[in-house]
Structure formats: structure tokens, C-alpha cells
Structure 1
Amino acid sequence: MRMDHVSYACEKDGLLATTERISAALGVDAVRGGVHPRFGTRNMIIPLADSKYLEVVEVLDHPASDKAPFGQAVRARSAAGGGWMGWCVAVDDLAPFEARLGRSAVPGNRKFPDGRELVWQQIGILGLIADPQVPYMLKWEGDPSLHPSKVYESDVKMSSLTIAGSAERVTEWLGEPVEKPLEDVAVQWMAPHGTPGIMSVTFETAAGAVTI
């Protein structure tokens, strides 16, 4: 179990403009991800060090976005002005989470222009919608070289999160101590005054620490 990525729902001026602001703040280039046909969303990627990445995601005017929980989550966060939507933990086995949550993981995919395909299984978006402090869980499948963090080698490191919520709640959700996936990322837990969830993420860049 490890921290895989953080997701930022685009702001009112759309995916490209939102991504450009974030990539400029970090001093790196973003790359086009693509469309998630099962979820009715599309994303752009900023690779990070230590096999992590930041995705900026936008909901599409597509029937899938009304039905898929991930599309619903992106739509709701963007409608509220955009910002940090959630974080994701990569695991080797989703079966314990399927058993505990009482539902099956759902497949996700994104095709590259050259025909290659990024594929995965995920679970926990409904939990994130209900309680945005908790992560969703993902199992990557297929070629590991297609992981979004591998688009280019990045020196930008995710160093810390500020989350409105509690370590105890997230530990209960994961079934393991929350420190396990966050062993190389510091977390400041704050009592939520309103909706729980990620309040900010700090990155170590060539120009110093940047908090978004």
C-alpha cells in the first residue's frame, strides 16, 4: 500500500487553464493524459518523484459522468469552484476492500494515441464522496512503464498534505495504519470546520517549497 496520486478538480476556466496555473507554480511541464471513457472525465498529468503524480481532472458532457461515481465526484467539486478532490492509494490486492465495502471494484482505462492502454481497477469513490478525507484505492494492471509518474523523470516531490479530518478515521477506512501509505509524506491533520478533505498539498521544487 502506497500513496499513488492526488486529484485536483479543474476550476471554472477549465482543464487547460487550471493545469497551466499549477504547472507554472511548480516550475514543470504538464502533459495531456486523456479521456476516461467509463467515467466521463479527462485529465492532465504532472509527474512527481517517488512514483507519484498529480492529476488535474475535468468532467465531460457525457452520459458516463452522470452514472459513474468518479464523474459525479469531479462534477461536484468543480461546481463548487474546483480544488483538491482527493487522494489515491495503490494496492496489490483489492479483495480485502471489496469484502469490507460490500461491492466490487470497477475497471478504468485510458488509451494513448499510439494504441497502448493504461488499465486499472478502483474502489472507494463513493466513500470519498461521502467523506472526502478518505482515499480511494486503486490496483494498476498491465505495463508498469505506463504509470503516469513515468511520463518523464521529475525532481518535484510531494512532501506534505494538510487534511481536514482525523488519522483514526482514515486508518479505520484503510484497515491499516494511515502512516503506511504516507510513510514518505508528512500529514497535518486539522479538525474540519465544514467539509473534510485535502486543504492543501506542499511540494518541494527547484525554487523551494510550494503549497497549493
Structure 2
Amino acid sequence: MRSKVPREGPAWVDEFLSGDYFTSCDFHTGGKNERNQFCTECSGSGPLCQFGLLASHSGHRTLQVRKASHMDSIRVVDIQQCLEVSDIQTYSINSAKIVFLLSRPQPRPSKGALHACLCCNRALSDDVKFCSLACKLDVLREQPEDRSITFALPADGEEENGSGCFKRKNSEAFQDSPTTPEKFESISTAKARCRKGVPRRAPMG
């Protein structure tokens, strides 16, 4: 029987969101040493490069942070094993859905926007509540009486792996979302990946 995860999520959430990602590692200076990995099992380890991950955290549950629109993000399929993120705006990048770690400030409100982040008021394309993981955490702490806002995963269909993360049955249970701007492609290329149908022969006359 798994231990109950608090509504604010596992203890490592604050450290994960405040990490200084994509800076060069001071201990491993050769090769691609940018720090974009995070170990959920080792408190205080902070962002890690791929070499530090292999050296001291082999076999641990880790999360890889990625860049999207110059902001830190993470794939939904990875983070949803640890946190409930179904009410956060998702985007599609290279056929994978992502969510942003931090708020993306918006200079002026978007006219005609039907939905907005409950924390920073950023316009949202989907009928969701938050633009990022950090915004959800802020509102969760400001409104502890609202039990509908939580980072804790549902009790059914999961198996704990020792770091506050769980394996979920429906890992892709999210609706399609808009793509991020700039250089990323949308998921619309799915048509090109579809296999051709089996040709039908004309009936014998």
C-alpha cells in the first residue's frame, strides 16, 4: 500500500521548479555537460548533467527538462507519473506534449481570450486553469481550502516506485493542445506517418 502524497506533491517539487537548468556543469567539463536532468530520489542534488547522472544516480527516477520557446519545460508523459497536471495548459512539440515549469509573463492581456491562468492571468487556449507547474503550486498554497486543486495523483491505477512517482495506466490521457511558437513543429505531421490502407480488389465478374 503506497504512502499518501500531499496535495502539494512530493517534497522535491520546489527544488525541481527552482533549478537553474541548462547551465554548464562545474564538475564535468567535457562533452555535452549542460545540466538538464533532475533526480527525484536525492534531495539537494539539484540539476545534473548526463555524466553526473550516470556517476551517482544510476537506477534512480529522474526527470529531463527541455527547452520550448526559450522556457524550461517537461514532457507530460514524464511528469504525469509524479504530479497531477491535467489542469495545466499543454503544448505539442515534435509529437510530444509538454508543460512549462514556470509562468510565462504576458505584457498585456490577450483580447478575446476565453480562458486565463488563475495565477498570472496569462491567456490559455484550452479550458484549463494554469499555464505552468509553478502557477498551479502557487494557487494551491494560496487556496488550501480548494480541494479540486492538487498535485497528488489519483489512488487507482498506479504503482509507487519509491520517489513519489507512479506508473499510470493512461499515460496519454490528455486532449490535443496548441503548438508552441517559433521553431517547433505541430503534431499535424501525423498524417504523413499513417500507413496506407490495404487496397481493395474489384469483385470477380
Bucket of the pairwise TM-score, normalised by the shorter protein: under 0.3
Q: Choose 1 or 2 for highest CA Rg.
A: 2
TM-score, reference length from structure 1 = 0.24
More strand by share: 1
